[in-house]
Amino acid sequence: MPTKTRPIEKFATAVGKCSAEGAVYGKCIVADYKNVTKDKCLTEFLKLKDCYLAAYKTR
Amino acid sequence: MLSPVLLPAASLHTLTRTRSHRVIALRFSRGYAIQAPGAPTLDIFSSQTKWLQKERAAADVQASRDVDYLRDEVASRLCERLLDVNRHFPKVLDLGANACNIARMLTRPSPDSPSSTTRAERLSTLVAAESSQAMLYRDADLPFNQAMEIVRQVLPTSEMLPYEANTFDAVLSSLSLHWINDLPSVLAQVNNVLKPDSPFIGVMLGGDSLFELRTSLQLAELERRGGVSMHTSPLADVRDVGGLLQRAGFHLLTVDVDDIVVDFPNSFALMRDLQAMGESNAVLGREMGAMQRDAMLAAEGIYRELHGNDDGSIPATFRLIYMIGWKEGPNQSKPLPRGSGMISIKDVLEGQTK
């Protein structure tokens, strides 16, 4: 019997596949986390999001 | 012609009335400035939302039992503090009982002396009061209910205690006071329902609880959306608790802090567990609806980078503030009056160093 997967589980699994991109984005923020502005790490985030979207689809 | 200054006050009024209606309306609509009785309270949490979250959490019994690790551990530590008081308690109130975690922990033997019998023999009756019925009766058919007398009672609101004064020999409260809006009032009511010279022993989340989650969500939302929204509750700090207890009329206060750090595989597991506990966000004026996926995606990366452990897990700190206060009693020991000390502490300390 297939168990129902909650959306958050699917989301978490997809995000888990992008730990490398997540780390790059995290480092970008943490490098100067006292001066964070909107879209400070936009390029890093878009890479992370592309990876996540790809991982979310393939599953 | 008489000048208006010399006219008596009544005729001055008639004069102004004829001239302008606006002036009169203003003068006669003014009432006395009175202060509302009691301190004005500011609602921070939605008790309706909190009730709904607990009902929903308890509806999934297995998921709810799986996340009892925190409440059971805290309740166990609280029970140890109760047993430090060397007396028998005929009637004890468990305020905000959740799933009767205190009762379950009381029916187990003490970890300090496993050979002895259960801790429950020091109590006769435990009244478990909680506003969420589903949460309160979740474990009502488990075997531990036969080991001691538990009276379950659903409260219409968690901020009003429907008990007579001088009813209980002790009041316990584990991990529910941090959702109370009017803490001074609830503590004063607790003081009221206690018998003289009886203890209140409570524990609440406070201080820097979940600071990792709080900071990563703030940084993520700041970078993604350009602003911060409220995702974690404001919590009382240690120094606030001492003042609160004193204001409620408690004596012989003891406040201490205990940190429990739980490691999670990722931040989503932490959020899911909090939800299953019924401890989701219930701050009034929070952003309605689910959190943006972009912000959650960003927060996960920041959490891992800023706070993550070396083994790939992430820590979540729960700071527990334990508070003990005694209701005033006739034969209670009191602090000596100021200036009555006969020994200089300076001499004692200097004598030690020589």
pLDDT at B310 over 80: yes
Classify residue B21 by burial, with Cβ atoms within 10 Å: 0-12, 13-18, 19+: exposed
Question: Of A20, A7, A21, A19, whose CA–CA distance to A56 is shortest?
Answer: A7
Is the confidence at residue B348, as pLDDT, over 50? yes
DSSP B177: G
Res B153: pLDDT: 95
Query: What is the average pLDDT across B10-25?
Result: 47
Look at residue B14 and tell me if it is in a domain: no
Identify the CATH number of the domain in which residue B74 sits.
3.40.50.150
Q: In angstroms, what is the C-alpha Rg of chain B?
A: 27
Which two structure tokens, joined as six digits, stand for B77? 């530590």
Domain boundaries, chain A: 8-30+37-58
Q: If DSSP codes are grouped into helix, strand and coil, which group holds residue B192?
A: helix
- pLDDT tens readout for residues B27-38: 555 566 555 556
Q: Take residue A51 and report the two structure tokens written for it.
A: 């990876």
Q: How far is A47 from chain B (nearest CA, A)?
A: 11
User: Looking at beta carbons, which pairs linking B61-68 to residues 24 or more positions away fall under 8 Å?
Assistant: B61/B138, B63/B276, B64/B99, B64/B135, B64/B138, B64/B276, B64/B277, B64/B278, B65/B99, B65/B138, B65/B139, B66/B276, B67/B273, B67/B276, B67/B277, B68/B99, B68/B101
What's the pLDDT band for B2 if we cut at 50, 70, 90? very low
> Cβ–Cβ of B222/A37 closer than 8 Å?
yes
- B288: pLDDT confidence band, cut at 50, 70 and 90? confident
Residues of A in contact with B268 (CB under 8 A): 8, 11-12, 15
In chain B, alpha helices (H): 9-19, 21-29, 47-59, 61-66, 69-83, 101-106, 133-136, 144-147, 183-193, 211-225, 238-247, 267-277, 293-307, 345-353
Determine the distance in angstroms separating the CA of B68 from the nearest CA of chain A, rounded to an integer.
20
**Does B297 contact chain A (CB < 8 Å)?**
yes
Question: Minimum mean pLDDT among B116-130, B133-147, B210-224, B275-289: which range?
Answer: B116-130
Domain membership of residue B139 as a residue range: 47-326
pLDDT of B43 reads: 87
Q: Which of B220, B300, B302 minimises the CB distance to A15?
A: B300
B299 touches chain A (CB under 8 A): no
**Chain B contact for A29 (CB, 8 A cutoff):** yes
A20 touches chain B (CB under 8 A): no
Rounded distance between C-alpha atoms, residue B221 and residue B229, angstroms: 8
**pLDDT tens, residue by residue, B211-232:** 999 999 999 999 999 999 889 9
Please give, rounded to a whole number of angstroms, the shortest distance from the CA of A1 to a CA of chain B. Answer: 18
B276 at interface of A, judged by CB pairs closer than 8 A: no
Q: Assess contact for B109 and B119: CB atoms under 8 A.
A: yes
Query: pLDDT band at residue B244, thresholds of 50, 70 and 90?
Result: very high
In a domain, B9, yes or no: no
The mean pLDDT of B74-101, rounded to a whole number, is 93
Cα–Cα distance for residue pair B293/A49, rounded to 1 Å? 10
* Cβ–Cβ below 8 Å for B305 and A37: no
Q: Which of B223, B268, B304 sits opposite A36 (nearest CB)?
A: B223
- What integer is the mean pLDDT of B238-265? 93
Q: Tell me whether B59 touches chain A (CB under 8 Å).
A: no
Give mean pLDDT, residues B159-174: 94
Does residue B198 have a pLDDT over 60?
yes
Residue B148 CB-half CA count within 13 A: 27
> Does residue B96 have a pLDDT over 60?
yes
Closest by CA position to B133, among listed B150, B151, B155: B155
Per the domain annotation, does B41 fall within a domain? no
Say which DSSP state B254 is in: E
Bridge-based pairing state of the strands B170-174 and B89-95: parallel
Instruction: Sheet with B149-154: list strands edge to edge.
Output: B149-154, B123-130, B89-95, B170-174, B199-205, B314-326, B251-264
**Structural domains in chain B (count):** 1
**Which of A12, A16, A36 lies at the smallest CB-CB distance from B219?**
A36
Q: What is the pLDDT of residues B40-77, one digit of tens each?
A: 678 899 999 999 999 999 999 999 999 999 999 999 99
Name every chain B residue with its beta carbon within 8 A of the beta carbon of A40.
Answer: 223
**B9: pLDDT confidence band, cut at 50, 70 and 90?**
very low
Q: What is the ipTM of this complex?
A: 0.92
Distance from CA of A29 to the nearest CA of B (A): 7
Cα B157 to Cα B189: distance, rounded to the nearest angstrom: 13
Instruction: Tell whether A25 lies on the interface with B, counting CB pairs under 8 A.
Output: yes
Which of B212, B221, B223 is best to mutate for the A interface (most A CBs within 10 A)? Answer: B223
Query: Is residue B11 one of the residues assigned to a domain?
Result: no
Reported as a single tens digit per residue, the pLDDT across A13-50 is: 999 999 999 999 999 999 999 999 999 999 999 999 99
pLDDT of B14 above 90:
no
